[in-house]
Chains A and B, each alone.
Chain A
């Protein structure tokens, strides 16, 4: 099928957007992003009083979500000493909720056909330098085998918006991933990053047991959004904005949001993410996003906008925005990816991140075809940290973090409202840490290099010692069973 919008593609595009599935969530005909109100808040809360900042930090430490005025106060801090306090508090909040554990995953790009024309994206329709490809089912299986053989247990599968990668294709690829096993290895949780769907199509994905459905708004600023998305389905701001409302309504109770930092003022985007969280919680009984992502714009083939943007986020501001998001939504997972160079990940993970990827390849077919260099004409953007899972795991252990491959919550019925309740009460780490120990042990036994095994056993011992006494006999028993060859034990 042609990448150019031929008649069949245009016909397909006409059937995607359902206006009634946007209007039902509006408030007096308006969406939840009031650009003017946000800009006004940002302007009028400059140079905050340190005492006020400390009150807000105390609220975050109590694991309460911040109000917009409180988040703006943090964003507008200029005093470097106050920023250090913010960073320390953000790290403490993360520890209180999740413990010193980092979940790891890999992205699997399945298709780069796209009907949209996002000016910053290598996949955009009019980028004729991009080599178009979609994995067939056998190729998906081979990619999965390659990922499983590295030790991954969790994937995020990524698709362009095109009739070739419609919901049936997505569902079929997910099923293929779940069915693929290599020795002890398998993928236990598949998350999806794809175009917004209507409620009926979300139900199709729900049926195949997806983990989280992820849609990034890219930019919450209305005018910027319209300028950067001139055509295609993605030009419809509100269709995208309410994508995860529809997903939740369809029964997918783990949803994920994000913004692409570098398109507009980073402080505005942090506010957008907060308002998005608030609106989801309002509509769905307190169940907001399972994770928040904050990718920064990276170079992509034939995308001059990336070099020309005046909103590029410095490393200093990147660390700040991550810390503020952590404090604003203390209980939500936060993902930092291999877009970021290793040094930045080292610096930023401690201020609140809970998940990261490794051994990342984002070219279509890149895991099984193993090309040694990045090929930008097959990729959406450039990766800055291509290190292996083994290297990243070892470094995280050196930093005092245990890498987790846990999928327990979604297998035990601790999803949606249940997950949010435990997390908001600060109790989820009682499950996270034992499961991190168990899944990390599996990784060390099945996949780790000798150096990583040595470092890994030390961090297991350390984290085991920190467990509640009542958990130790259970975890000890499970560890013995894992050493004897059992797998997939969970708490």
Chain B
């Protein structure tokens, strides 16, 4: 299964694509921080820091109503 197929299946369940190779569960995001080059750093509930690429930041902002 390709990542975009997985993304289509999981989007209704609060999962979203943040980079070419990563889908995250947005419910598990605990903190957000702007990063260089228009990217965004997401701190997950397990302490892991994930960097969302520029092209996916707009969908995160749209989700938050920004």
On whether the two chains bind one another, the answer is no
Residues of B whose CB lies within 8 Å of any CB of A are none
A contacts, CB < 8 Å to B: none
